């Protein structure tokens, strides 16, 4: 089977999926000569990966997003260049998509392009959010995203956090609950994302691959 080169990142509003997507895209540069990050989070976005265009360029990652003049508009405007991720076999693409079933409908437009591709669709889990506070609610949310997008989630990313106030205990609790979701759904828990400053405290304590994050995204008021 051809190596995966299309990675779709989704998750509940506030899950940290955009932070993960930015970090993940930059890490992909270790494996692929060309990487693009497509910002399709266009329904009520809180953090926008397009806000880090200069940072991404510095790390050799191309950004595909709506025009700069529409940077603060929450409009369903999808850049035509996103098709290059599906069509250009030399390009590895990370797609940051809306964090709820409504936002995930954007993916339905591209489902025909993706069905024939070896794509990955990662669900980012933050159990410190009200609508994904436990395994059952997270699974319900996951199924809503699948129904809206017409695509199946292929893997889980544990990312329970409280932004800059996250503790090692938050991360470990999220890891345990993510394993519950994995057990109930049969999906693999692929990554355990956490603020890199907690690396020493978490060493050897997580089930699955650790994914320390450098925190690039800031709240709108920062």
CATH number of the domain to which 185 belongs: 3.40.50.300
Whether 186 contacts 153, CB under 8 Å = no
Share of the chain above pLDDT 90, in %: 57
What is the predicted pLDDT for the residue at 206? 95
Residue 40 belongs to a domain: yes
| Higher local confidence (pLDDT), 46 or 193 | 193
Which residues lie closer than 8 Å to 54 by C-beta, 6 or more apart? none
222: pLDDT strictly greater than 50: no
Range name among 10-24, 92-106, 112-126, 189-203 with the lowest pLDDT average = 92-106
What share of the chain in percent tops pLDDT 70? 86
Is 44 a member of any domain? Answer: yes
**24-65 confidence digits (pLDDT tens):** 999 999 999 999 999 887 655 555 666 778 899 999 999 988
Most confident of 46-55, 62-71, 160-169, 182-191: 182-191
Mean per-residue pLDDT, 127-151: 92
Domain count, the chain: 1
Considering the entire predicted model, what is its pTM? 0.89
Residue 162 resides in a domain: yes
**Candidate from 16-20, 157-161, 170-174 with smallest mean pLDDT:** 16-20
Is the pLDDT confidence value at 10 over 70? Answer: yes
Tell me what the pLDDT averaged over the chain comes to. 86
The per-residue pLDDT for 65 is: 80
Tell me which residue range forms the domain holding 50: 6-213
Q: Is residue 219 part of a domain?
A: no
pLDDT in tens, 72-81: 544 455 667 8
Average pLDDT of span 161-167:
91
Average pLDDT on 205-212 reads 94
Residue 114 resides in a domain: yes
Q: At residue 98, does pLDDT exceed 50?
A: yes
Beta strands in 103-149 (DSSP E): 119-125
Q: Which residues contact residue 23 at a Cβ distance below 8 angstroms, ignoring those fewer than 6 apart? A: 193, 211, 213, 214, 216
Name the band, by pLDDT with cuts 50, 70 and 90, for residue 120.
very high
Q: Residues 6 or more apart from 38 whose CB is under 8 A from it?
A: 63, 64, 65, 79, 81, 82, 85, 93, 94, 95, 96
In a domain, 1, yes or no: no
Q: Is residue 221 part of a domain?
A: no
Q: Is the dihedral of CA 62, 23, 174, 222 positive or negative?
A: negative
């Amino acid at each position: 089977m051809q190596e995966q080169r299309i990675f779709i990142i989704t998750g509940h509003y506030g899950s940290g999926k955009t932070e993960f997507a930015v970090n993940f895209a930059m890490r992909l540069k270790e494996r692929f000569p060309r990487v693009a990050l497509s910002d399709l989070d266009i329904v009520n976005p809180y953090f926008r990966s397009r806000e880090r265009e200069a940072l991404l360029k510095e790390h050799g990652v191309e950004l595909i997003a709506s025009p700069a003049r529409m940077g603060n508009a929450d409009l369903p405007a999808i850049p035509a260049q996103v098709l290059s991720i599906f069509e250009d076999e030399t390009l590895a693409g990370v797609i940051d998509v809306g964090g709820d079933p409504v936002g995930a409908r954007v993916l339905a437009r591209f489902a025909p392009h993706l069905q024939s591709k070896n794509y990955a669709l990662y669900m980012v889990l933050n159990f410190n959010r009200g609508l994904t506070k436990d395994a059952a609610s997270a699974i319900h949310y996951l199924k809503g995203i699948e129904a809206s997008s017409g695509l199946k989630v292929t893997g889980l990313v544990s990312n329970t956090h409280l932004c800059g106030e996250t503790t090692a205990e938050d991360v470990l609790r999220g890891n345990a609950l993510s394993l519950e979701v994995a057990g109930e759904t049969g999906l693999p828990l692929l990554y355990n994302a956490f603020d890199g400053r907690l690396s020493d405290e978490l060493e050897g304590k997580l089930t699955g691959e650790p994914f320390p994050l450098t925190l690039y995204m800031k709240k709108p008021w920062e």
